[in-house]
Amino acid sequence: MIGFREVLRGLQALGIGKQPVIVHASLSAFGPVRGGAETIVGALLTTFPGVMAPTHTYKTMLIPEDGPTNNGITYGSGKAQNAMAEFFTLDMPADPLMGIIPETLRRHPQAKRSGHPILSFAGVGVESALNAQTLEEPLAPIRVLMEQGGWVLLLGVNHTVNTSLHLAERLAGRRQFLRWALTPQGVVACPGFPGCSLGFEQAEPLLRPITREVKIGNAIVRALPLAEMIERVTAYLKEDPMGLLCSAPDCERCEAVRMGLVATRGSG
Grade residue 261 by pLDDT with cuts at 50, 70 and 90: confident
- Taking residues 42-71, report their average pLDDT: 97
pTM of model > 0.85:
yes
Other beta carbons within 10 angstroms of residue 41's beta carbon come to 27
The three-point CA angle 42-45-48 to 5° equals 145
Grade residue 266 by pLDDT with cuts at 50, 70 and 90: low
The three-point CA angle 147-112-103 to 5° equals 100
φ and ψ at 152, to 5 degrees?
-100, 135
**Nearest-angstrom CA–CA distance, 138 and 120:** 8
- For 192-236, the pLDDT digits (tens) are 999 999 999 999 999 999 999 999 999 999 999 999 999 999 999
Those residues whose C-beta lies under 8 Å from the C-beta of residue 77, and which sit 6 or more positions away, are: 63
pLDDT tops 70 at residue 268:
no
Those residues whose C-beta lies under 8 Å from the C-beta of residue 63, and which sit 6 or more positions away, are: 73, 74, 75, 76, 77, 78, 81, 82, 180
Nearest to 228 by CA among 123, 111, 172, 150: 150
Given this model, what pLDDT does residue 264 score? 63
**Nearest-angstrom CA–CA distance, 225 and 152:** 6
φ and ψ at 180, to 5 degrees?
-130, 145
Buried b (16+ CB within 10 A) or exposed e, 170-188: bbbebbbbebbbbeeeeeb
Grade residue 162 by pLDDT with cuts at 50, 70 and 90: very high
**Nearest-angstrom CA–CA distance, 70 and 228:** 31
Those residues whose C-beta lies under 8 Å from the C-beta of residue 37, and which sit 6 or more positions away, are: 27, 100, 101, 103, 104
Given this model, what pLDDT does residue 118 score? 98
CA count, 13 A, side-chain hemisphere, 230: 24
Given this model, what pLDDT does residue 191 score? 98
- For 2-47, the pLDDT digits (tens) are 999 999 999 999 999 999 999 999 999 999 999 999 999 999 999 9
- E strand intervals along 217-267: 219-225
Given this model, what pLDDT does residue 262 score? 74
Those residues whose C-beta lies under 8 Å from the C-beta of residue 210, and which sit 6 or more positions away, are: 224, 225, 228, 229, 232
- Taking residues 125-137, report their average pLDDT: 98
- Taking residues 105-133, report their average pLDDT: 98
Mean residue pLDDT of the chain comes to 96
- For 47-56, the pLDDT digits (tens) are 999 999 999 9
pLDDT tops 70 at residue 263:
no
Those residues whose C-beta lies under 8 Å from the C-beta of residue 268, and which sit 6 or more positions away, are: none
